[in-house]
Every structure is written in C-alpha cells, then in structure tokens.
Structure 1
Amino acid sequence: MSSKQPDTGRLTEPCEGYLVTPPLLEAASFADRLDHALTVLPVAAVRLRLAETSPETMKRTILDIREIMDRHDAALMLDGFPELVRQTGCDGAHVEAEDVAAARKILGDDFQLGAACGFSRDLAMLAGEKGADYVAFGPFGAEPETEGLALLTWWREMMELPVVAAYSPASEMADLPLPEMLHTLAATADFLALGVTQDGHSFDALWQTPEKFLPLFAETAKD
C-alpha cells in the first residue's frame, strides 16, 4: 500500500482505493474485471480472498492474480494465509486483529500486515502494538453509523497508523448516485475498501462499472 505519512493537515490528504475480491476458486473468471478496475481507479492495494480448495490451486490463483497486479502500481494483500505470502510473492497479508502477532512472526519485517478491527478502538490499538501496518474499521453499510464514523475520524486525527474504511452494502445497489455514506468514508479514511457485499458476494456495481466510483477519488483520479 502507499506509504502515506500522517502529519498536520492529514485529513486533507485524498483517499485511495483498496479493492477486495470475492472468494476466488481461480483467477480467469475475474481477471478482466480486476484489470479494468485497476486501470480506472486510483488503487493502493487489492485484497485477494481465496475460496477453500487445494494448496496448489490456491497458489496458482495467487500467481495468476499477481500477473495482473504487476501491470499496476498496487500492492497485493492476501486475505489470511500469511504462510502463502512468502511462498507466492504477495506484498502482505490481511488478518483479524487478534491474529496480528502470529502473522507478524510468520511474515517477519519484510511484508505488509493489515488488521481487521471491526469497530473496536481497543483491537485497533492492540494490532498496532503487535506490528500491523494499517488497521481496517467496518464494514460500514449504506445507512449512517454515527459511532463507527466517530471512531474512524478520531483514529485518523490522533493515530499515525493508516486506516482503511471497509464498505459493504447489504445487497447490490439498484441504481446510482452513490450513497452519501461512501462519500463520507472517502472524505475521512486513508483508504476506502470496496468490492464485496455484506454476505461476501461480489459487489457487482463496482466491478462492472468502476468508472461510476471514480468521483469518490477525484483528487487522485488517473489521467
């Protein structure tokens, strides 16, 4: 992920995209969508979620996705499976906050490590202490979530560790314009995670027409 350095006026820095794939059994069926989204949007990282299958198939999927990532300036983060990060050349892993210490022991200091913290300040602070390179709050939904937004704002104002705001709608958005929640998250977080619905399925509104989400990242839009 990009190496933003928090400092005075940090809240004025533009947000970047952080794409999350649905669980993939193989890469071919998703390759074109991923490549297109990476071409259109200012993406700092992609979190690859793998469907449970054989280790050999999982490695093949990772390597195929890596070929796509190599064409774009974005980090490849593996959802869980930190042991596979070293074996396949990913940039890092994304794990639950409680698993950060164990994952850091596996990864060492050469790989990035993100922590899913729900809406817990305590878990986020613990993850930072144990070696996380960023924390992720959420998932946020389409409706206002006052406490979650307050935590997100507090973290970005007070803490140096970058923060990801994960957005997962309850179901597919029937139409656009984009919900106001998305604009609020993009204006508050360092990175905005998009790509799956709350049930873990593909967020097709994003993957089919990523252009419609470009206004969220207007300040970092690609030429």
Structure 2
Amino acid sequence: MSSKQPDTGRSAEPCEGYLVTPPLREASSFAGLLDHALTVLPVAAVRLRLVETAPEKMKQTILDIRQIVNRHDAALMLDGFPELVRETGCDGAHVGAEDVAAARKILGDNFQLGAACDFSRDLAMLAGEKGADYVAFGPFGVEPEPEGLALLTWWREMMELPVVAAYSPASETTGLTPPETLRTLAATADFLALGITAAGESFNPLWQTPEQFLPLFAATAEG
C-alpha cells in the first residue's frame, strides 16, 4: 500500500480495493475465492484475519495465503499479531489505533502498519503520530452515515496519510444494495475495504461474485 501516497488535497488517483478475509483456521477452503477476487478486482492489499490456534498452524496459514497474495502483487497485512509479520514475510500489520505505538516497536520501520480508528478523528491523528502508515474509518453500513462520510472527506482533503473506508454490511444484505453508499465511499477514500459483514463473518456477495464490485473502481478511475 505504500506505493500510493496521496498529496494533501483531493487526489486524482482512483480508489483501490482492500480485501478483508473472514477469520481463517486454514487456507485451503478459502484459497480459490481469494485468488479469484484478486484476479478480478484492483486490490492493493489483503488483510488476513486468523483464528487463533497453535502458532505453527497459524504460520502455515499465513504462508499459504501469502503465496496467493504475492502472485497478484498485493500487500499482505495481518489483522493483529504483529510479532508474526517478521517470521512469515508479511508486509505489515493492522491493529487498533491504541495499539499502534506498541506494534511499531515490534515491527520497526521496515513494515507497514495500519490503524483501525472507528469514526474518531482524535484516534486517527494519534495513530498517525505514533507511526501508522494508513488509517481506517468505519465500519460503514448500507445506510448513509453523514458524520462518518464527513470525517472521511475531511481526512482525505486535509491529511497526507492514506485512508481506508471499511464497508461491513449487515449479514442479510446482498450485493450492492443500496449502491449509493459504496459508490460514495469509493469516490472519497483511497482504499475501499470489503470482505466481511458487521458481525465479522464472510460477506458472501464479494467472495462469490467479485465481478459485480468492479464498476466501483472503474467509476473512480473514469471520474
């Protein structure tokens, strides 16, 4: 994700995808879905969420997913577990804003670090000060959230750190319903995070038919 560093002010660069996996215990059952989504969509990074099991099993899952992600020239970010980043050859970690300082100490300066900031401007600014390489706002749902969108717009216009808009709809939501929220997020953020529901489970419309989400990124490129 480090290749995309927007200048202060509205960047002309199109939004890119940022895929978030459901919690994985092993890679084999998800490998085909991930590979297909990476083939279809313009994805800058994949955030791998792991089920906490035996360390060696977790490392093997990371290595298996890393092979897929590397084939598509995307960055692999671990959701938490910064101590495993160095051992498994990941590109970085994604942690809560309050954990950025501790994670940066573990990672050093050679790995990327993202921060989940909910809808808090203060947390995002603190994360930036402590060494985050990008901030993430959300989760956004299918309903318009004026305050959240205003914060996203403000950050993109005023700050240099890239911003991720996390879209996590309710589990019963299917497809792009309604499409307006997703289009707005894609037109505003540097990266659009897709892949899980508000409950943290698999957002099946994305993984089963990623083709339907491609117009989001094509539209930002044309605009």
Give the TM bin, normalised by the shorter chain: over 0.9
1:93-114 CA-partner distances (Å, limit 9, x unpaired): 0000000000000000000000
Q: Which residue of 1 aligns with 2:156?
A: 156
Matches within 5 A, 1:8-157: 10-157=10-157
Partners in 2 of 1:220 and 1:91 — Cα distance? 26
Identity percentage of aligned residues: 85
Q: Which residue of 1 aligns with 2:195?
A: 195
Q: TM-score if structure 1 supplies the norm length?
A: 0.95
SS in 1 for 2:113: strand
SS in 2 for 1:50: coil
Q: Which residue of 1 aligns with 2:6?
A: 6
1:24-44 CA-partner distances (Å, limit 9, x unpaired): 000000000000000000000
Contact 2:48 2:79 in 1 (8 A): yes
Contact 1:91 1:111 in 2 (8 A): yes
1:42-68 CA-partner distances (Å, limit 9, x unpaired): 000000000121111100100000111
The change in CA–CA distance for 1:69 and 1:133 in structure 2 (over 3 A counts) is: same
Partners in 1 of 2:166 and 2:63 — Cα distance? 25
1:131-181 CA-partner distances (Å, limit 9, x unpaired): 000000000000000000000000000000000000000124335565210
Q: Which residue of 1 aligns with 2:182?
A: 182
Amino acid at match of 1:183: R
Amino acid at match of 1:159: M
Q: Which residue of 2 aligns with 1:205?
A: 205
* 1:220 positional shift: 7.6
The change in CA–CA distance for 1:182 and 1:192 in structure 2 (over 3 A counts) is: same
Q: TM-score if structure 2 supplies the norm length?
A: 0.95
Amino acid at match of 1:214: L
The change in CA–CA distance for 1:156 and 1:9 in structure 2 (over 3 A counts) is: closer
Contact 2:142 2:177 in 1 (8 A): no
Contact 1:47 1:79 in 2 (8 A): yes
Contact 1:141 1:170 in 2 (8 A): yes
Of 65-74 and 34-43, more deviation after overlay is shown by 65-74
The change in CA–CA distance for 1:9 and 1:151 in structure 2 (over 3 A counts) is: closer
Contact 1:27 1:64 in 2 (8 A): yes
Unpaired runs of 5+ residues, structure 1, are none
Partners in 1 of 2:163 and 2:176 — Cα distance? 26
Unpaired runs of 5+ residues, structure 2, are none
SS in 2 for 1:124: helix
Contact 1:11 1:188 in 2 (8 A): no
Amino acid at match of 1:108: G
Partners in 1 of 2:103 and 2:115 — Cα distance? 10
